[in-house]
Amino acid sequence: MLKQIDKGLVRETIAKRAEQEIVSGYYVNLGIGMPTIVANFIQQDKEVVLQSENGLLGIGVSPLKEEVDPELINAGKETVTASSGASFFNSAESFAMIRGGHLDLAILGGMEVSENGDLANWMIPGKMIKGMGGAMDIVHGARKIVVVMEHVNREGASKIVKQCQLPLTGKRVVSRIITERAVIDVEKDGLVLMEVAKGWTVEEVIESTNVTLRISDELKVATY
């Protein structure tokens, strides 16, 4: 992947890499924003069921213009399609699925992730928000949490930090971080650089990350 400033391309690139985290047979929740794009890249040979906390089990790809149904939306109020065999239910049943540990994987967006796996992704103090959403339940209910986000913020500061400054969604919940520059695992002894995106060097990733990274013995170039 080349270094580029096209935000749409960056988001698509990250989503393509995140798709590789999904295993056939998984029940998966895709968070609001960037994670929803992942649905468009799931390989056809994977049998995957996507869950939305607003009451849909079996989300399909993003609809074409002629397929848009304004009453069929995900938790981010984006229009979606329903795959064959999809089911609809109320939020109480949806959160029973989440809290009951029935999700194999959740792919969520992030504003900050700390070196010990804390996640902040639901609000910025002083900005108007509609509510905390379902992320606080998801990070404790899903068996694995993968965070997708741009490596740095608009000011160029690392979004991977020693300690989160924004209000937390959950403590020690993140297993893996995927950005347009790298794939980083959260382990008990800190962060481990697992993959570096094409077009970036290890040195550049380290320089743009605000915490110490341990280099994996199996470090490889990420296939985005």
Instruction: Give catalytic status of residue 53 as yes or no.
Output: yes
Arithmetic mean of pLDDT, 46-63? 94
The whole-number pLDDT of residue 131 equals 67
User: Does 3 score more than 90 pLDDT?
Assistant: no
Nearest to 100 by CA among 136, 132, 142: 142
Average pLDDT over residues 108-116: 97
Token pair listed for 176? 């893996």
Distance CA 181, CA 198 (A): 8
pLDDT at 146 over 50: yes
C-alpha to C-alpha distance for 149 and 151, rounded to whole angstroms: 6
pLDDT per position as a tens digit, 129-145: 666 678 999 999 999 99
Over residues 80-88, the mean pLDDT reads 94
> What topology is assigned to 7-222 in CATH?
Glutaconate Coenzyme A-transferase (3.40.1080)
In a 3-state reduction of DSSP, which class is residue 55? Answer: coil
Q: Is the dihedral angle over the CA atoms 15, 177, 136, 94 positive or is it negative? A: positive
* Tokens describing residue 156: 């160029």
Residue 127 has pLDDT above 80, yes or no: no
Contact 9, 37 (CB under 8 A): no
Q: Among 68, 74, 34, which residue's Cα sits nearest to residue 51?
A: 74
Residue 124 main-chain phi, psi, to 5 deg: -115, 120
pLDDT surpassing 80 at residue 162: yes
Which sequence spans correspond to the domains of the chain? 7-222
Confidence of residue 184 (pLDDT cuts 50, 70, 90): very high
Active-site entry in 19, 53, 112, 195:
53
**Per-residue pLDDT, 1:** 43
What is the model's pTM? 0.93
